[in-house]
Amino acid sequence: MAVTLVIGAQWGDEGKGKIIDVLSKNADIVVRYHGGNNAGHTIINQYGKFALHLIPAGAFHKQAKVIIANGVVVDPSVLWEEITMLKNAGVSFANRLMVSPNCHLIMPYHKILDRLFEEAKGKGKTGTTGRGIGPVHADKASYNGIQLDDLFDKKNFGEKLKVQLQLKNKILKCFDEKPLDQKEIEKTYFDLFEKLKPFIKEPYTLIQKAIKDKKTIMLEGAQGILLDNNWGTYPFVTASSTVSGNVTAGAGIAPRHLNHIIGVAKAYTTRVGEGPFPTELLNETGELLRQKGGEFGATTGRPRRCGWFDAVLTRFAVELNGITDLAITKLDILDDFEEIKICTGYTYQGQKVDYVGGNANFLAKVKPVFKTMKGWKKSATGITNYKDLPKEAKDYLKTLEKLTGAKISYISTGAKRHEIIKK
Ligand code: GDP
Ligand code: IMO
Ligand code: MG
């Protein structure tokens, strides 16, 4: 009945997985359309607790067709592990999972190059997830990529791999790395291909028909707006575009078909990896947010950096992406705070400044201006009715709405599926 896009409105890990799981209840189709297994989307429902890296978070709703569209980069071993893990948990994919043959493959050399580039950059590193995401996109952009489709013809795959190994092994040699072996890679990828083959089908026709038939489609963004490679804090970003418009390239859905664009934001802010973060709390309060919020990466287990809600950045995300609704997650984590701060603006050398998207150097120099709100010091955990929220929590949310310029339509009060307020 509607096409809904869910994107991260901060630096990733906003709780997109939880929101998508909730909103996909009646979905006919759920789609991942960009990024790869750098994503880690946590879902807690009747099947258990999962951190999904490639399979869309809406996949637990068995009526839904599950699509990994063209824009996703695929590590076939991670995909197979995830299919198997979910099958063992009671979520089967027979006749409902479609992975586009156009998806680019993450190859063993991508992961090695990811590590080598990071090591070479030392202090200037991005702090990637180490999954080969930058290098696979670089190969895609420079016409050196290998796609899932190439595996249907072993000879063709072998030829493409041979060229790439000629190039990549030269680079590896410069870094004193062992060269990669063609036969070994072929065996691994051909074995995985045999397992994945039933799921490799182009989803384009199904998606277009679903749009015509006015079906319910849920589109799952990965990462977050501030990790976008045009508008985020470059070079501390990811390799795919995270803005709402990239759904057109990644899933083949024209912009005019989007009915809702939901931005997910935590009630505070986190970031994992390097890069500027104006509201970061490098003190006990930051540590408290990390411990209470369980702020450790779903993909790498790294501790996440924590800080107050930055309304400047989320307002930017709202504007840039045409966000129609916000989903605020982890409100419960603020339950015990005496005072809660919100960044309402920045100053630079004592002068008020506005955020200019895409400029990491600038963002590293600004000072946040805070508004202090009274905490509620009561439990908001698990509340499902807006009227039951403590007054101070409502005041906090109303202030976020005002500052970000977007309607808050969902408030998540716990990690489990049912712990949500729909306004
Ligand atoms: P994603 O990448 O955007 O899907 O987010 P992650 O799964 O990486 O990180 C979000 C974390 O917060 C996960 O551990 C979720 O289980 C958890 N979470 C999501 N919403 C809530 C909430 O409202 N309250 C609490 N306490 N945890 C939440
Ligand atoms: P989800 O979908 C948070 C960050 C990395 C690093 C930068 C580049 O779970 O919200 P990459 O491996 O993509 O080359 O790393 O981007 N990053 C994420 N941070 N959540 C994510 O995904 C992320 N995916 C990548 O930490 O700073
Ligand atoms: Mg995550």
Cα 239 to Cα 34: distance, rounded to the nearest angstrom: 10
Q: Is 128 in the pocket of ligand 2 (CB under 6 A)?
A: yes
- Of 338, 340, 339, nearest to 310 by C-alpha is 340
Q: Is 150 in the pocket of ligand 2 (CB under 6 A)?
A: no
**Ligand minimally distant from the alpha carbon of residue 42:** 1
- Residues annotated as catalytic are 13, 41
Cα 203 to Cα 114: distance, rounded to the nearest angstrom: 30
**Ligand minimally distant from the alpha carbon of residue 296:** 1
What is the CA(118)–ligand 1 centre distance, in A? 27
Q: Is 13 in the pocket of ligand 2 (CB under 6 A)?
A: yes
Q: Which backbone phi and psi does 320 adopt, to 5 degrees? A: -60, -30
pLDDT in the model for residue 283: 97
Cα 212 to Cα 346: distance, rounded to the nearest angstrom: 46
* pLDDT (tens digit per residue) in 401-423: 999 999 999 999 999 999 999 99
- Kindly report the protein residue whose alpha carbon is nearest to atom 7 of ligand 1: 42
pLDDT in the model for residue 23: 97
Q: Which two tokens stand for residue 5?
A: 């896009």
Q: Is 203 in the pocket of ligand 2 (CB under 6 A)?
A: no
- Kindly report the protein residue whose alpha carbon is nearest to atom 23 of ligand 2: 223
CATH 3.90.170.10 fits 265-422, yes or no: yes
Q: Is 65 in the pocket of ligand 2 (CB under 6 A)?
A: no
What is the CA(412)–ligand 2 centre distance, in A? 22
What is the CA(313)–ligand 3 centre distance, in A? 19
**For the chain, what are the domain ranges?**
2-100+201-261, 104-197, 265-422
What is the CA(202)–ligand 2 centre distance, in A? 27
What is the CA(119)–ligand 2 centre distance, in A? 17
Cα 326 to Cα 328: distance, rounded to the nearest angstrom: 6
Q: Residue 294, SS3?
A: coil
- Kindly report the protein residue whose alpha carbon is nearest to atom 13 of ligand 2: 238
pLDDT in the model for residue 1: 57
Q: Which two tokens stand for residue 181?
A: 């072996």
- Kindly report the protein residue whose alpha carbon is nearest to atom 17 of ligand 1: 415
Cα 304 to Cα 294: distance, rounded to the nearest angstrom: 9
- Kindly report the protein residue whose alpha carbon is nearest to atom 9 of ligand 1: 13
Q: Is 357 in the pocket of ligand 1 (CB under 6 A)?
A: no
Q: Is 240 in the pocket of ligand 2 (CB under 6 A)?
A: no
Cα 92 versus chain centre, distance:
23
- Give DSSP secondary structure letters for 216-245: -EEEE--S-GGG-TTTSSTTSS-SS--STT
166, 345, 346, 403 from 371: Cα distances, Å: 57, 9, 12, 11
Q: Residue 364, SS3?
A: helix
What stretches in the chain show pLDDT beneath 70? 1
- Classify domain 104-197 at the CATH superfamily level: Adenylosuccinate Synthetase, subunit A, domain 2 (1.10.300.10)
Written out in words, the top-level CATH class of the domain with range 2-100+201-261 is: alpha beta
- Kindly report the protein residue whose alpha carbon is nearest to atom 5 of ligand 2: 128
What is the CA(230)–ligand 2 centre distance, in A? 15
What lies within 8 Å, CB to CB, of 264 at 6+ separation is: 6, 7, 8, 9, 14, 15, 16, 19, 326, 327, 329
Mutate to test the pocket of ligand 1, among 6, 20, 37, 42 (most ligand atoms within 8 A of CB): 42
